[in-house]
Amino acid sequence: MNTYDRRQFLKESAGVMAGLSVTSLVVSGCRGAGEGGDGAGDAVGAATGAGAEGDPGAGAGDESLFEISLAEWSLHRTLNAGDLDHLDFISVARNDFGLDAVEYVNSFFFERARDTQYLTEMNTRADGEGVRNLLIMCDNEGRLGDPDEMARTTAIENHYKWVEAAKFLGCHSIRVNAASEGSWDEQQQLAADGLQRLAEFGAEHEINVIVENHGGLSSNGQWLSGVIKAVNHPRCGTLPDFGNFRISDGEMYDFYDGVAELMPYAKAVSAKSHDFDDQGNESELDYLRLMRIVLDAGYRGYVGIEYEGSILPEREGIQATKDLLVRVRDELADQYGRP
């Protein structure tokens, strides 16, 4: 397995972007927030905290320390109940919460990945609301670290359509899982193989493949960071989730160590939340501490609200998470400065 560090990772990411032609950045049907860009530059901006125009790291005014997006999973109960249509999620993000970027979940348009008419409507609505399509969270497409070679190849190929859909929508990434089985080393090798092969396909479309800590060994920060080091590809990174560090029943990984270990490779961040105390703080997670870890890693991209609680209704939970992130951003602004 190759050794790998953040400096090498960022250097290689920058090299990928340097090789992009001007024409590759303006593709019909591939846009984010009406800018006409394909979102490829977003990935490097998110990974490095760069503030170039068109990157997720590029903010406006006081918001440039980090910006806030909405993960569709925050409304999964409302969507699953049929009380909200996937196409209307964009409007909710903008008009109900004042957010200008969204993160989709493939399960809410699972059969539409290659439906260009449907994807075009998603783009049209995003453009109309001034909302950026950041990424697609992909589940239920097989295990990228499956020990069976044929099953692993099938899982890799099942994700191809989501890479293509992400490109069409102007996203910078698809979020995948690194599920496997076997020993620590065996799972690392298998997951790295699947991710490396998928990242090669992603690179052809200028789309990143980013892995979330999402149960099993993927919720062990040392294990997952080791997988990313083994993949050693600038298009493969992480999506640290503040709360997803349950390895198995009764086995938890430290939230703060895990985020710190995954942040050097992060191209997106999920602000998981469940419940809040009387002061508006997340009841189990120290957001101030977590956001210090995020910012200390040099990240200046979007932080996605992912409310998953059951005490507050979904919309109230989303608003509470946004309020907390805004308060933390204001508190940290003087320390980290504003570009």
Dist. CA 246–CA 218, nearest whole Å:
9
Asked if 324 contacts 289 with a C-beta cutoff of 8 angstroms, the reply is no
Q: Residue 68: is its pLDDT beyond 80? A: yes
Q: Using 50, 70 and 90 to split pLDDT, how confident is the model at 100?
A: very high
Determine contact, residues 73/137, Cβ cutoff 8 Å.
yes
| 309 phi/psi in degrees, rounded to 5 | -80, 170
DSSP class of 35: S
pLDDT tens column, 257-297: 999 999 999 999 999 999 999 999 999 999 999 999 999 99
Return the SS3 of 279: coil
Q: Residue 108 pLDDT more than 90?
A: yes
- For residue 5, pLDDT over 60 is answered with no
Q: Say what the pLDDT of residue 27 is.
A: 34
pLDDT tier, 98 (very low <50, low <70, confident <90, very high otherwise) = very high
Instruction: Spell 203-216 as b/e; 16+ CB within 10 A means b.
Output: bebbbbbbbbbbeb
What mean pLDDT value characterizes the chain? 86
- Residues near 140 by beta carbon (within 8 Å), at least 6 away in sequence: 106, 107, 110
pLDDT at residue 63 in the model? 54
Checking if the pLDDT of 190 tops 80, the result is yes
Region 53-61 average pLDDT? 35
| For residue 14, pLDDT beyond 60 | no
Pairing of strands 132-137, 101-105: parallel
Q: What is the mean pLDDT of residues 190-211?
A: 98
Cβ(52)–Cβ(18) below 8 Å: no
- Rounded mean pLDDT of 103-118? 98
Q: Residue 181 half-sphere exposure, CB side, CA atoms within 13 Å?
A: 8
- Specify the range with the lowest mean pLDDT, choosing from 2-16, 145-159, 184-198, 258-272: 2-16
Closest among 180, 204, 255, 262 to 229, alpha carbons compared: 262
Helix (H, G, I), strand (E, B) or coil at 238: strand
Percent of the chain predicted with pLDDT > 70: 81
User: Helix, strand or coil for residue 83?
Assistant: coil
Q: Write the single-letter amino acid at 318.
A: I
Question: What is the spatial distance between Cα 279 and Cα 301, in angstroms, rounded to a whole number?
Answer: 26
Q: Is 254 within 8 Å of 262 (Cβ atoms)?
A: no
Q: Summarize the confidence of residues 138-167 as an average pLDDT.
A: 98
Residue 59 pLDDT > 80, yes or no? no
Q: Which pLDDT does position 337 carry in this prediction? A: 79
- Please list the residues that pair with 276 across neighbouring strands: 282
The mean pLDDT of 190-213, rounded to a whole number, is 98
Q: Which CATH architecture has domain 6-336?
A: Alpha-Beta Barrel (3.20)
Q: Are 22 and 38 in contact (CB under 8 A)?
A: no
Report the alpha-carbon distance of residue 171 to residue 8 in Å, rounded: 24
What would the mean pLDDT of 234-258 be, rounded to a whole number?
Answer: 97
pTM: 0.84
Task: Tell whether the model's pLDDT for residue 233 goes beyond 60.
Answer: yes
- Specify whether the CB–CB gap between 305 and 276 falls below 8 A: no
CB atoms within 10 A of CB 147: 13
Contact 89, 324 (CB under 8 A): no
In tens, the pLDDT along 296-329 reads 999 999 999 999 999 999 999 999 999 999 999 9
DSSP helix, strand, coil percent of the chain (3-state; round to 5):
50, 15, 35
Helix (H, G, I), strand (E, B) or coil at 179: coil
Q: Rounded to whole angstroms, how far apart are CA atoms 57 and 16?
A: 17
DSSP conformational letter for 233: -
Model pLDDT, residue 331 = 96
